[in-house]
Amino acid sequence: MDNWRVDPTTPFSSKWNQEAGLVLMKLLLENGHITQQERSEAWKWFANHHDGTLREHYIAYNLGNERRLAVNRYRSAQTQRRETLGRTRITVCLAHADLAEVGAALSEAGPRSNVHSDDEEDHQSTTARYRAKDKYWRSKKARRYFRSCDLLHFKDKYDESGLHRTAPGNWFRERVPGAILDVEVDEPEPGLPANFYEPEWVAKQKPERLATLEMKADVPLDFPLDLRIQAARVLGILRVDGPVSDWRTLRISQAELDMLDVYLDTGRLPPATYGEARAR
């Protein structure tokens, strides 16, 4: 145990580095450097130190400045997109009383929290499309909830007439499902409500691993019907080229709510012709 070393070629979330982290926590506790209450903060510091300072030094030394700069630029853009996503979700939740508990949990975690998926540009697409990197440890209910929040955010692109965007720029950044990240490349975010974590994944974890998560009490993850209807209306007019009808008056039936559920589960948008003749 005295000779263990981290692997700077892989992120902290790799199996080897996770084990190294557990060894370090054990040593720090046994030697009195930290208390049990400080364990979570020490774990987060070690994760940030490894993925930041240690890996950046390794990349700079072994790959040279050009490659290091390219890696840092990619990482910075990815982090900025995740932070923007996190901020919009927090804003949406705090704007609705029924979503406020989730908003408080997301605010505490922060907009850069790893609970929000990173994404990467889809170079095969002719439009601004990004493939979301879904998380093996995040619950399906949380994923559906966040996608519902994203739809509620899109309606703010309209002015009071319901037809025009309120600001110049891209219509919206399309995020489609990508591969689910495994334990080698994704680190679970600690300190979240327990129902943010996938139950099947939680059941497979060692007690020591679960202790580092410090899971909190569940928050309501059932989206209210009135907000589901709003989300379904927005989904019904989402197009790469913009709206085709007034989202506020689009007729919503069970078919639209079923279409919403398909989107929340798969990320699949409605067909391009949907909604052209369905305004009330």
Residue 202 lies in a domain: yes
Residue 34 lies in a domain: no
Residue 56 lies in a domain: no
Residue 252 lies in a domain: yes
Q: From CA 133, how far away is CA 275, in angstroms rounded?
A: 29
Domain extent for 232: 85-115+124-266
Residue 70 lies in a domain: no
Which H or E run includes 135? strand 129-135
pLDDT digit of tens for each residue in the chain (280 aa)?
Answer: 455 678 887 888 888 888 888 989 998 999 899 999 899 889 989 988 888 888 877 776 666 666 665 666 666 667 777 888 899 999 999 999 999 999 999 999 998 888 988 755 544 544 555 556 678 899 999 999 999 999 998 876 665 555 555 554 444 555 555 544 445 456 789 999 999 999 999 999 999 999 999 999 999 999 999 999 989 888 877 654 444 555 566 678 898 899 899 989 888 777 766 655 544 4
Is-contact 140 201, C-beta < 8 A? no
Residue 258 lies in a domain: yes
Query: According to the model, what pLDDT value does residue 169 have?
Result: 45
Residue 41 lies in a domain: no
What is the value of pTM for the model shown?
0.66
Handedness of CA 50, 180, 190, 110 (dihedral sign): positive
Enumerate residues 6+ apart whose C-beta is below 8 A from 161.
246
Residue 80 lies in a domain: no
Total count of domains within the chain:
1
